[in-house]
């Protein structure tokens, strides 16, 4: 039971996508989500927003990006012009959306939020973009999921501040051009490789890659979140959460909330031992692997003799979407050195076999000698 709950809540992509169903005008309506009950939805959305840093000083880590942004924003302010378009990329839960909010706050401007899948048609984009005021920020999450037709309308909007709309079809079709107020597009993606290079090159303000956090940085994030949640936590407990957090702030906050629930129900303090018990119950092991990560690795080791195995074969064997494997599981497993991506497919490493306590496949042992 517990692992089911964990899988549903902890998969960053799923949690986020589910919470971001499309509302009117292609903008998101976080309340509309058929998969989860309303109360649960609102509670989590509320907590996420409560824990989100509201000033750059509260945003821990990613120092190089913060320093670059400070210069970009300062220069824009001095010129009294919106900053140029910015792209953030990296695994889910590392703080891309948070940075966009911080930029809007710093520029003292409004931010409209939408996402690639929410903008299905050119008309959806036109309606979002023509509703912007001068200086507004438009945030498009999962921009790699925009379709080509929409992308092509976005180019002139980003570059020259005009929207080309084709009216009618065939020989009588004509283009009208709408002037747009100056705005800044901030986009986020977990799949930079899926972005066409013309689109990438239009982010003239910068393309920034968010890195996984260090354990010390996550400890600081946990301590800050615990303070906001009014949960007393000792250093050992914060360390244990950090160790199992996949170096990802969103996961760290999720684990903290679940450990706090556990301590509350057991009428005990949030100690290292309690964190261990709570996270063991959720099926999160000492390296932060979830049951689904272990299932993936064990399948490669046992069903595919350690690999290489192609992504689509793996996806079929696990009944898991390819995008979930690529966006949720792989970045962390590769970072741990548990999985390798080769031209012939995915290969498990000896380190992973040792951690999981499974026999090292013969193909791997052969490679070692």
Which of 30, 93, 288, 307 binds ligand ADP (CB under 6 A)? It is 93
Q: Which residue among the candidates 17, 20, 98, 141 is catalytic per the annotation?
A: 141
By CB neighbour count within 10 A (0-12 exposed, 13-18 middle, 19+ buried), where does 235 fall? exposed
Quick one: which of 144, 202, 250, 260 contacts ligand ADP (CB under 6 A)?
250
Interface residue with ligand ADP among 26, 53, 205, 308 (CB under 6 A) is 53
Can residue 246 be called a binding residue for ligand ADP (CB under 6 A)? no
Give residues with Cβ within 8 angstroms of 191, minimum separation 6.
Answer: 89, 144, 326, 327
Q: Which stretch binds ligand ADP (CB under 6 A): 2-10, 53-61, 78-86, 116-124?
A: 53-61
What's the min distance (Å) between Cβ of 198 and ligand ADP?
Answer: 24
Q: Check binding of 142 to ligand ADP (CB under 6 A).
A: no
Q: Is 98 in the site for ligand ADP (CB under 6 A)?
A: yes
Separation CA 248–CA 89 (nearest Å): 14
**Shortest CB 40 distance to ligand ADP, Å:** 17
Helix, strand or coil for residue 131? coil
Cα-flanking dihedrals φ and ψ of residue 338, to 5°? -95, -15
Q: Residue 190 catalytic? A: yes
Find how far residue 294's CA is from the centre of its chain: 21
Question: Is position 250 annotated as part of the catalytic site?
Answer: yes
CA 329, CA 11: separation in Å to the nearest integer? 9
The three-state secondary structure class of 246 is coil
Burial class (CB in 10 A: 0-12, 13-18, 19+), 334: middle
Active-site residue flag, 97: yes
Among residues 30, 82, 95, 288, which is the contact residue for ligand ADP, using CB under 6 A? 95
Q: Which of 19, 87, 92, 259 binds ligand ADP (CB under 6 A)?
A: 92
Per CB under 6 A, does 51 bind ligand ADP? yes
For the chain, the maximum distance between any two Cα atoms, rounded to a whole number of angstroms, is: 75
Catalytic residue ranges: 96-97, 141, 190, 250
């Amino acid at each position: 039971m517990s692992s089911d709950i964990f899988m549903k809540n902890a998969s960053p992509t799923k949690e986020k996508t589910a919470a971001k169903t499309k509302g009117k005008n292609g903008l998101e309506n976080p309340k509309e989500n058929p998969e989860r009950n309303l109360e649960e939805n609102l509670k989590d959305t509320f907590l996420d927003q409560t824990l989100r840093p509201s000033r750059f000083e509260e945003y821990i880590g990613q120092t190089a990006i913060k320093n670059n942004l400070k210069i970009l924003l300062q220069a824009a302010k001095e010129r009294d012009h919106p900053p140029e378009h910015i792209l953030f990329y990296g695994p889910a839960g590392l703080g891309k959306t948070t940075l966009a909010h911080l930029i809007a706050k710093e520029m003292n401007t409004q931010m409209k939020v939408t996402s690639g899948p929410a903008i299905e048609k050119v008309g959806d984009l036109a309606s979002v973009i023509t509703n912007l005021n001068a200086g507004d920020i438009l945030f498009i999450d999962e921009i790699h999921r925009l379709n080509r037709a929409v992308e092509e309308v976005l180019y002139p909007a980003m570059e020259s501040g005009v929207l080309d709309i084709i009216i009618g079809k065939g020989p009588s079709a004509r283009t009208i051009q709408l002037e747009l107020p100056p705005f800044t597009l901030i986009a986020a993606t977990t799949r930079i490789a899926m972005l066409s290079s013309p689109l990438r090159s239009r982010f003239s303000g910068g393309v920034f890659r968010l890195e996984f956090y260090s354990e010390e940085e996550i400890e600081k994030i946990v301590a800050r979140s615990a303070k906001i949640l009014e949960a007393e936590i000792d250093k050992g407990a914060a360390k244990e959460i950090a160790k199992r957090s996949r170096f990802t702030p969103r996961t760290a906050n999720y684990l903290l909330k679940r450990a706090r629930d556990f301590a509350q129900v057991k009428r005990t303090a949030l100690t290292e031992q309690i964190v261990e018990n709570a996270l063991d119950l959720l099926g999160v092991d000492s390296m932060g692997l979830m049951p689904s990560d272990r299932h993936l690795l064990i399948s490669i080791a046992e069903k595919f003799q350690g690999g290489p195995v192609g992504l689509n074969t793996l996806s079929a064997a696990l009944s898991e979407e390819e995008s979930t494997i690529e966006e949720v599981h792989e970045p962390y497993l590769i970072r741990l050195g548990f999985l390798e991506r080769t031209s012939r497919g995915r290969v498990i490493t000896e380190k992973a076999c040792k951690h999981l306590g499974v026999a090292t496949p013969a193909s791997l042992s052969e490679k070692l000698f």
